[in-house]
């Protein structure tokens, strides 16, 4: 284990000796001499949330099998007649069945409810008072407590703790499935993992909370102390992403690049090819990551949603064992259904044998979801030592052909920082929001809780130091033609096989594209040229907006504006 000698609080100029805290990977206990007001790991929000975990109203549940039994008996749960594949290997009862739980009107994540301590305009004193009142009211009912590991390799494992009130057993069970419970194997692995001078993660959840000033609910984060409160929100994705928000921030502070994306590795005749895809839900990220490519290659999957990159070695580590997948592509006769563990916001009906089975494909509502076991990917791994050969930004930008290669590290990072895509049904947005409208979501990560420039610089370093190649995949439409998954996968296969031919992307230096029939960019067309200019101006406007929004919290380096202005000059001269 790597020892850390000192804990330094820059703000208060205080140094704490390593002996003053009790550590494994992350910190759960403190020596009494270290529990002082100026300790860098303590705060009002942290103390309020952690204290709730020790109440008489808290019922610890350590086994995922116990969580299953609680969920299957919950009044809001439907027990289907579909068996869980490999139940014993997942520490579940041998006769475990796929469970179904449905929310009400809200079936997606509510980004507008998010508040982050430390960001401009977020008053810690105000939210401390609000949180104290919320937890006081919550103490009138009983809560389940669960403990899990986030990060599946000894180089990065952090402990996370969840409180969920009785009545929400389905979400509690899903949480223990989504992350790694502390079974005997992982208790030992965690004890042997690299220590970090960071708190354990604490997530407090009360879906019944209501407040007139927060009709959409509230997700409150103190990311430097690794605590979060999810108030007034029932959707399971809030718990998952809140935990990942804290874990990603912890990784970011400790030499890792936090990634909302997927990683897969191809075992070729004389080498490996490791690629990462970055995209919002519904962009094709999981489709690309989990594709089997017709068994043409031996493919290893790390994960399709959450991983980190070691900035020194380039190694990648998965944060979760399972997959929280959309069910829109899984009809009842799909092979993937047998790997489902629990479902949310899907229908149930009777089959010809009078057995309760699933109604998927978003027939009941948008964004039907399922927890899918790691067995769905037979060649699943949790850690890859090889650095990435390529990064693929997944966009839905009609100004771009199906694939573009970016040979300039600055421009590669700029396109990541201005990743253009569309919202999806995974998000709970206002009725007047156009889901087809183009939006910019830097690095496809709406869960960042630190300045955007830090991700920009780290990705630029990935393209320079690690020599990672960068591509853009447009999975939307181009020239009036939709770009189906088979076109995207065929392009990736040609890149892997080194048969893809790239030609200059008009007058734009540093960009080239691989010609695909029906998807040819024509810079001689004033209409297309203007379309691309408009798209680049949109990116420039976004960067300019970040320079002033929230007092410049997410301002990007000047080189980002300069590089886009150079492209615009190339297009207009």
Please say if the pLDDT value at position 22 is more than 50: no
Q: How many CA atoms lie within 13 A of 105 on its CB side?
A: 5
Banded pLDDT at 258 (limits 50, 70, 90): very high
Give which of 20, 19, 29 is closest to 53, Cα–Cα: 29
Please say if the pLDDT value at position 299 is more than 50: yes
413-424 burial, b at 16+ Cβ within 10 Å, e below that, comes to: bbbbbbbbbbbb
- Within 416-559, strands assigned E span 420-422, 438-440, 469-474, 477-478, 481-482, 503-504, 511-513
Q: How many residues does the chain have?
A: 573
Residue 99 per-residue DSSP state = E
Angle between helices 452-465 and 409-417 (to 10 degrees): 150
The mean pLDDT of 92-98, rounded to a whole number, is 98
Please say if the pLDDT value at position 412 is more than 90: yes
Distances (CA, A) of 182 to 62, 254, 335, 543: 7, 23, 30, 43
CA 478 to chain centre: 28
Q: What is the pLDDT of residues 445-498, one digit of tens each?
A: 999 999 999 999 999 999 999 999 999 999 999 999 999 999 999 999 999 999
Q: What is the pLDDT of residues 428-440, one digit of tens each?
A: 655 555 556 789 9
Q: What is the pLDDT of residues 47-82, one digit of tens each?
A: 999 999 999 999 999 999 999 999 999 999 999 999
Give which of 445, 181, 204, 401 is closest to 308, Cα–Cα: 445
% the chain with pLDDT above 90: 90
**What is the overall mean pLDDT for the chain?**
93
Q: What is the pLDDT of residue 422?
A: 78
Q: What is the pLDDT of residue 12?
A: 37
Q: What is the pLDDT of residue 4?
A: 29
Banded pLDDT at 21 (limits 50, 70, 90): very low
Q: What is the pLDDT of residues 350-372, one digit of tens each?
A: 999 999 999 999 999 999 999 99
A 10 A CB-CB count for 550 gives: 13
- Residue 144 in contact with residue 59, Cβ under 8 Å? yes
Alpha-carbon dihedral 141, 100, 176, 251, rounded to 10 degrees: -110
The mean pLDDT of 405-432, rounded to a whole number, is 83
| DSSP-assigned states of every residue in 261-298 | EEEEEEE-SS-EEEEEEE--TTSSHHHHHH--GGGTSE
Which range among 125-134, 231-240, 426-435 shows the weakest confidence by mean pLDDT? 426-435
Those residues with Cβ within 8 angstroms of residue 316's Cβ, 6 or more apart along the chain or in another chain: 263, 274, 276, 302, 307, 308, 309, 310, 383, 384, 388
The mean pLDDT of 100-128, rounded to a whole number, is 96
* Rounded Cα distance, 449 and 221, in Å: 9
* Rounded Cα distance, 502 and 512, in Å: 6
Please say if the pLDDT value at position 18 is more than 60: no
% the chain with pLDDT above 70: 93
- Which ranges constitute the DSSP H helices of 10-111? 44-52, 64-72
- Residue 37 in contact with residue 213, Cβ under 8 Å? no
Please say if the pLDDT value at position 2 is more than 70: no
Q: What is the pLDDT of residues 168-185, one digit of tens each?
A: 999 999 999 999 999 999
Q: What is the pLDDT of residue 424?
A: 62
- Rounded to 5 degrees, what angle do the CA atoms 394, 292, 109 make? 45
Banded pLDDT at 573 (limits 50, 70, 90): confident
Which range among 302-311, 400-409, 433-442 shows the weakest confidence by mean pLDDT? 433-442
225: helix, strand or coil: coil
Those residues with Cβ within 8 angstroms of residue 488's Cβ, 6 or more apart along the chain or in another chain: 284, 288, 402, 403, 473, 475
Give which of 535, 516, 531, 403 is closest to 470, Cα–Cα: 403
Q: What is the pLDDT of residues 277-298, one digit of tens each?
A: 999 888 889 999 999 998 999 9
Please say if the pLDDT value at position 8 is more than 70: no
Angle between helices 236-253 and 169-178 (to 10 degrees): 40
Q: What is the pLDDT of residue 567?
A: 97
* Rounded Cα distance, 174 and 22, in Å: 30
């Amino acid at each position: 284990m790597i020892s850390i000698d000192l804990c330094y609080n820059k703000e208060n100029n205080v140094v704490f000796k390593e002996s003053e805290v009790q550590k494994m990977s992350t910190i759960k206990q403190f020596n009494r001499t270290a529990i002082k007001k100026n300790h860098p790991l303590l705060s009002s929000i942290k103390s309020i949330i952690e204290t709730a975990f020790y109440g008489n109203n808290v019922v610890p549940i350590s086994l995922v099998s116990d969580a299953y039994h609680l969920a299957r008996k919950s009044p809001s749960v439907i027990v289907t007649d579909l068996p869980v594949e490999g139940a014993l290997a997942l520490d579940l009862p041998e006769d475990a069945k796929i469970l179904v739980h449905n929310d009400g009107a809200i079936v997606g994540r509510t980004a507008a409810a998010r508040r982050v301590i430390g960001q401009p305009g977020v008053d810690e004193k105000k939210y401390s008072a609000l949180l104290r009142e919320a937890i006081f009211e919550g103490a009138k009912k009983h809560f389940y407590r669960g403990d899990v590991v986030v990060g599946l390799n000894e180089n990065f494992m952090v402990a996370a703790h969840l409180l969920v009130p009785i009545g929400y057993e389905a979400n509690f069970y899903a949480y223990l499935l989504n992350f790694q419970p502390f079974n005997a194997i992982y208790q030992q692995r965690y004890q042997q993992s690299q220590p970090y001078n960071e708190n354990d993660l604490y997530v407090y959840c009360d879906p019944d909370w209501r407040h007139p000033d927060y009709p959409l609910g509230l997700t409150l984060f103190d990311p430097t102390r690794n605590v979060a409160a999810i108030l007034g929100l029932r959707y399971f994705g809030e718990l998952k992403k809140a935990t990942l928000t804290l874990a990603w921030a912890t990784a970011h502070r400790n030499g890792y690049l936090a990634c909302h994306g997927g990683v897969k590795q191809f075992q070729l005749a004389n080498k490996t090819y490791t690629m990462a895809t970055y995209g919002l839900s519904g962009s094709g990220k999981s489709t690309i990551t989990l594709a089997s490519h017709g068994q043409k290659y031996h493919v290893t999957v790390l994960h399709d949603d959450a991983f980190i990159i070691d900035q020194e070695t380039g190694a990648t580590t998965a944060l979760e064992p399972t997959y929280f997948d959309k069910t829109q592509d899984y009809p009842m006769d799909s092979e993937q259904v047998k790997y489902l563990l629990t479902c949310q916001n899907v229908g149930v009906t009777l089959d010809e044998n009078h057995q309760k089975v699933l109604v998927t494909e978003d027939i009941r509502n948008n964004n039907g979801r399922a927890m899918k076991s790691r067995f769905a990917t037979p060649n699943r791994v949790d850690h890859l030592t090889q650095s990435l050969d390529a990064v693929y930004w997944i966009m839905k930008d009609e100004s771009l052909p199906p694939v573009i290669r970016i040979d300039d590290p600055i421009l590669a990072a700029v396109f990541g920082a201005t990743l253009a895509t569309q919202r999806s049904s995974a998000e709970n947005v206002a009725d007047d929001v156009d889901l087809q409208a183009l939006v910019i979501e830097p690095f496809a990560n709406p869960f960042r809780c630190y300045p955007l420039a830090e991700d920009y610089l780290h990705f630029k370093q990935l393209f320079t130091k690690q020599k990672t190649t960068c591509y853009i995949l447009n999975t939307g439409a181009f020239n009036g033609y939709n770009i189906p998954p088979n076109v995207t996968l065929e392009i990736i296969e040609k890149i892997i096989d080194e048969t893809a031919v790239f030609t200059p992307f008009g007058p734009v230096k540093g960009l080239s594209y691989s010609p695909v029939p029906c998807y040819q960019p024509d810079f001689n067309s004033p209409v297309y040229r203007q379309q691309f200019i408009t798209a680049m101006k949109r990116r420039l406007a976004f960067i300019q907006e970040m320079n002033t929004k929230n007092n410049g919290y997410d301002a990007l380096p000047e080189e980002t504006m300069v590089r886009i202005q150079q492209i615009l000059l190339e297009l207009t001269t």
